[in-house]
Amino acid sequence: MSIGLLRAGLPGLAIALAPFGASVAHEVVGNRFFPATLTIDDPGVNDELSFPTVSSFKTGDDPSFRQRDFSGEFSKRITEAFAISIGSTYSHLSPPGGLTGMGANGFQNVETTFKYRIIKDPTHEFVMSVGLSVEWGGTGAQSVGADPFNTYTPTVYFGKGFGDLPDSLFWLRPVAVTGQVGYAIPGRRSTTTFGIDPDSGDLTADTEFHPHVLNWGGSIQYSLPYLRSAVVDLGLPDFINRFIPLVEATFQTPVSNTFTSGTLTTGTINPGFIWAGNKFQVGVEALIPINRQSGTNVGVIAQLHFYLDAIDPRGIGKPIFGNVEQPATPFGRN
């Protein structure tokens, strides 16, 4: 389910293999509510719609371009533990001031993710899923960096809440961490572009190698809904009790076939918050590049995310195969 964000951070890649996640799930494990995070995928398997997700940032190109992305993603459970999601992104690239004829607009490649939850432990608030994401080459515009070949990314996702901490550490019980580790495998080892040397008239060949990339990241969250419902009610207004402050981080490290890309890790640190309702959530985060190759200046990402299993639990929010289950919620019914 990932949709490309920090695409220009890897030397030798027009737009990187390692995409950013537009998140496709929220998950309730025991007392713990894992929200759909914005830049990595969370470990849940549910019926969801992320629309829209919008972001604006400056790429790691030299000169740096302003990239604005508008994306959507739909996730559908086949069974209670298995879901398929599909999504894509429309990108607008604006050149730096003074340059003309270098901008571009178009869709990124369509991406499909197959995801299966393998562990759900309510007592220890632990959940783990495995998945395979396929970026379908040729479904997007090469002018915005969409590759003409498929990329396959097997991924492990996990989440752990700290609600099982002892009473002496009760103030840490609202904390949760999530993470993912994926390995992006391009369907083509290299691409060779032929041309003519303008001085000699000789035929030239330029070969770009497509690296295998380790996509990794995580989040740390402090859940005010959990604080109120499972630790202590501080008497805060209901609007405040729905906030989940968090910091996400997403990184990409080329690990093989790196002859033209190099092995530099790129990525962003993303502080922000999620406000969660019973049927939808809103999230906003800053995008802080970790180095020059990851981008210039601080960007921003925002998302509106719908819980289809809460909106229509007996219709579009119901698994295709399996019984209808009342969707869990960390809040009382309004």
CB 75 within 8 A of CB 85: yes
Instruction: State the burial class of residue 20 (Cβ atoms within 10 Å of its Cβ: 0-12, 13-18, 19+).
Output: buried
Write the pLDDT tens digit of every residue in 288-334: 999 999 999 999 999 999 999 999 999 999 999 987 555 555 554 33
Tokens of 262: 């190099």
pLDDT of residue 89: 98
Q: Are 45 and 27 in contact (CB under 8 A)?
A: yes
Cα 279 to Cα 307: distance, rounded to the nearest angstrom: 5
In the chain, DSSP finds a helix count (H) and a strand count (E) of 2, 19
* Torsion on CA atoms 98, 101, 102, 108, rounded to nearest 10: 140
For residue 139, give both structure tokens. Answer: 């479904």
Element spanning 226, H or E: helix 224-226
User: Which domains does the chain carry?
Assistant: 2-311 (2.40.160.40)
More confident residue, 307 or 1: 307
Over residues 128-170, the pLDDT tens digits come to 999 999 999 999 999 999 999 999 999 999 999 999 999 999 9
The terminus-to-terminus CA distance of the chain in angstroms comes to 31
The yes-or-no verdict on residue 97 having pLDDT over 80 is: no
d(CA 44, CA 80): 11
